[in-house]
Structure formats: C-alpha cells, structure tokens
C-alpha cells in the first residue's frame, strides 16, 4: 500500500511540473507569443519605416525583394523582430540608422512630382525640402495638381494618414468647366463606378460660380489614382484646377506656392490624435425588466397581441364623462359659471329695461 501511495504521489508531482512548464495556449490552440520587455525590439518593416527608409508598405516590398540584411544575413520574411540600437540593418548595402523624426508641410506647385525616384531627373517634392535626413511625402498629388502635402520620415504616422481604415479626411478645392447641377453633385456622394470599382466622395460642397467655370469642395477619405478627375469626368465636367487644402486638422492656410515649414507641436499632436482608429458604436443593451416582455412577444405569432399588452389595456382606468349643460355651447360664459349639479343658468339681459 505504501508503494502504491508513493507512486501516485510521484505521478501527481510529475503532472504538476509538466503543466507548469507548458506554454500558454489560446482557445484556438495556437501558442501565444510572449511580449518582449525591450521597447527597442520591433518588427523589421516598422524599424525601417521609423528610420526613414520609406512608408511601411514600401519597406515591406523592399524586404520581400531580398534587399535587406540583418547582421550580414538576408531577411525576406515579414514580421522579423529586430533591435535597431544593437543590430546592424542594411538596405542595398547602406546602413539604416534611427534618425530624428521631422515633419514638414509643403505647398506643392504644379509640375512637381510626388515620387521618391524619377529616372528622368525631374523636380520632386523631396527636392524642395531643406533637410539632411531621408524624408518622403505622405500620399501623392499628380503632376498637374497643387496644394498641401506632408513630408516626413515617420513611417507609422504616414501609414495611419493614408490607410482607409483610419478615415482621415482630405479636402480639395476644384475648379471645373461648366456649372454642375445639384443632382450630379449628389451622384458623387452616392457613388460612381470606375475601372477598379465603386468610388464616392464623403462630402461635396458648392463654393462659387463664374461665367464659364465653378468652384466646388470635395472631401475624400481614401486616395486612388486621379480619383477626383475621373469622378468629375463621369458627370461630364473637366477639371481646370485641383488644389488640396487640408489633411485632417492640418490646413494649408496662406503658405506660398513652393514654400515649406515645420509643423508646430500643436499641429503634430492634432494629427496623431486624428489618426487613431475610431471605436465601433456599442449595441444598446435591453433592460432586465423588459426581458420578460420581449420573450413573450417573441413567442406570439406576428399580428396577434401578447398577454402582457392585453393586461395593460384592461388595467387602464376610464374617467367618467361630464354631464352636458343645457346652455347653448360649452365655451360661453354660462358654461364657465355653470354649477356642478348640471342645472341651467339664467342669462342676464343686457341693456336698459323697457318702460311700462
């Protein structure tokens, strides 16, 4: 008996030790990855974006192309964790180092390209920015468009401002040929079918009207290639001038064409606040006292009143009717002075009495 007890105790201790050493698993059966204590450890594409290599999407394409090396080894898998402060990361044999984050607002003139690489050597947006750090533009404006464009080396903020799930609004002032009617402007908010699918503006506002042209304000939350020009072409109006005037809370103001400046701390905080994802609205909860009525109504077939509704109708008190007065009309002086007994009230004769 003693040997059996000792065996059972040993088996219990083994099972306890094995349960302790097992890694935590989720309900789906997948193992949970333990969070790293070091704040400098982050995903490779995020570290590259924060270092100013490009936006996060561009960094992902660079990694998949096999152009990135970490400690001398080629890395082509997304999600690889690195520490940019201790490990050496190279892109096309050039070292990637953490730089100071900078934020610029530029009033792009027409004719300037919003791209990071142009084989023809034409003027780019980043050529107009006076900085030694490697920066890139957030979003794009086509060659003939003008207005506000944000230039930075903060890849996280750039991704949030351009991704459709964050819903950051961009406003444009557009001069079109002709005078669009309200129905055609309403069609832009309802949706127009383009080659890649259905596209629509979140808001359209009529600004002013000239002899042959009109100025309208269009608000978008997603950016496609030449989207505004194609939307207006669908309703039969050609674009003459296309100017972006705001990105979220950041406004162009009176900044001259071709000029740039750094963002103020207030403007930067406002942009970071706007770029946070919006919480979904919670469904209204039914009060506990109404649950019984809801269950009863669910059992009763459609069109038939429930028992609770019948009881409520029967429980109502009926007020007794007031007796009608014998005077003419219920709203005269006699009705107001009538006694509660219901007896008729004698009318007073007006004027002088007749002489006998």
Domains assigned to the chain: 41-95 (3.10.290.10), 99-165+250-278 (3.30.70.580), 169-247 (3.30.2350.10)
Q: What are the contacts of 288-297 at 24+ separation with CB within 8 A?
A: none
**How do residues 167-225 score in pLDDT, each as one tens digit?**
889 999 999 999 999 999 999 999 888 888 888 899 999 999 999 999 999 999 887 88
More confident residue, 170 or 21: 170
Whether residue 219 contacts residue 168, with contact meaning beta carbons closer than 8 Å, is answered with no
Residue with tokens 């698993």: 25
Least confident window among 20-29, 94-103, 278-287: 20-29
Pick the most confident of 140-144, 161-165, 329-333.
140-144
Query: Which pLDDT value is given to residue 225?
Result: 84
The yes-or-no verdict on residue 300 having pLDDT over 90 is no
Q: Which residues contact 126 (CB under 8 A, 6 or more apart)?
A: 116, 135, 136, 137, 151
Residue 322: pLDDT over 90: no
Q: What is the pLDDT of residues 33-85, one digit of tens each?
A: 444 556 678 888 888 877 778 778 888 999 999 999 998 899 988 888 988 77
- What is residue 285's predicted lDDT score, i.e. its pLDDT? 53
The alpha carbon dihedral of 21, 24, 30, 31 has a sign of: negative
Strands 81-83 and 73-74: unpaired
Say if residue 26's pLDDT is above 60: no
C-alpha distances in Å from residue 105, one per residue of 55, 88, 245, 259, 322: 17, 32, 11, 9, 78
Q: Which helix or strand (DSSP H or E) is residue 14 part of?
A: helix 2-21
What per-residue confidence (pLDDT) applies to 293?
60
Q: What is the pLDDT of residue 132?
A: 83
Tokens 């533009």 belong to which residue? 137
Q: How confident is the model at residue 304 (pLDDT cuts 50, 70, 90)?
A: low
Per the model's pLDDT, the better-predicted residue between 99 and 32 turns out to be: 99
What local confidence, expressed as pLDDT, does residue 96 receive?
A: 83
Q: Which of 142, 154, 254, 290 is catalytic?
A: 142
Q: Is the pLDDT confidence value at 317 over 90?
A: no
Residue with tokens 């979220």: 248
Q: What is the pLDDT of residue 214?
A: 95
142 is catalytic: yes
Q: What is residue 27's predicted lDDT score, i.e. its pLDDT?
A: 47
Residue predicted with more confidence, 229 or 324 = 229
Q: Can you give the pLDDT at residue 20?
A: 46
Closest CA to 217 of 254, 253, 267, 169: 169
């Amino acid at each position: 008996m003693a040997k059996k007890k000792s065996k059972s105790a040993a088996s219990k201790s083994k099972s306890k030790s094995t349960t302790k050493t097992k890694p935590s698993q989720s309900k789906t059966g997948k193992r949970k990855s333990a969070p790293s204590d070091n704040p400098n450890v982050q995903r490779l594409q995020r570290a590259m974006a924060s270092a100013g290599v490009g936006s996060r999407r561009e960094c992902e394409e660079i990694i998949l192309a096999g152009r990135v090396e970490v400690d001398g080894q080629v890395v082509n898998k997304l999600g690889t964790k690195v520490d940019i402060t201790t490990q050496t990361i190279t892109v096309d044999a050039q070292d990637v180092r953490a730089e100071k984050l900078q934020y610029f607002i530029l009033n792009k003139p027409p004719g300037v390209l919003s791209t990071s690489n142009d084989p023809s050597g034409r003027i780019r947006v980043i050529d107009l920015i006076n900085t030694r750090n490697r920066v890139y533009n957030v979003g794009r404006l086509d060659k003939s468009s003008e207005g506000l464009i944000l230039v930075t080396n903060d890849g996280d903020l750039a991704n949030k401002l351009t991704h459709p799930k964050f819903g950051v609004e961009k406003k444009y002032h557009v001069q079109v040929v002709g005078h669009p009617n309200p129905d055609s402007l309403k069609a832009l908010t309802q949706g127009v079918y383009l080659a890649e699918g259905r596209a629509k503006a979140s808001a359209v506002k009529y600004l002013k009207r000239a002899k042959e042209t009109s100025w309208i304000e269009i608000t978008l939350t997603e950016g496609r290639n030449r989207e505004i020009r194609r939307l207006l072409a669908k309703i039969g109006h050609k674009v003459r001038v296309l100017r972006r005037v705001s990105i979220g809370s950041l406004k162009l103001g009176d900044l001259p064409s071709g000029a740039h400046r750094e963002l103020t701390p207030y403007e930067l905080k406002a942009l970071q606040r706007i770029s946070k994802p919006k919480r979904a609205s919670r469904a209204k909860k039914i009060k506990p006292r109404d649950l019984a009525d809801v269950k009863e109504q669910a059992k009763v077939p459609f069109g038939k009143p429930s028992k609770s509704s019948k009881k409520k109708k029967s429980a109502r008190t009926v007020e007794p009717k007031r007796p009608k007065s014998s005077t003419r009309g219920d709203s005269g002086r006699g009705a107001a002075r009538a006694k509660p007994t219901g007896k008729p009230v004698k009318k007073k004769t007006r004027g002088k009495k007749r002489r006998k």
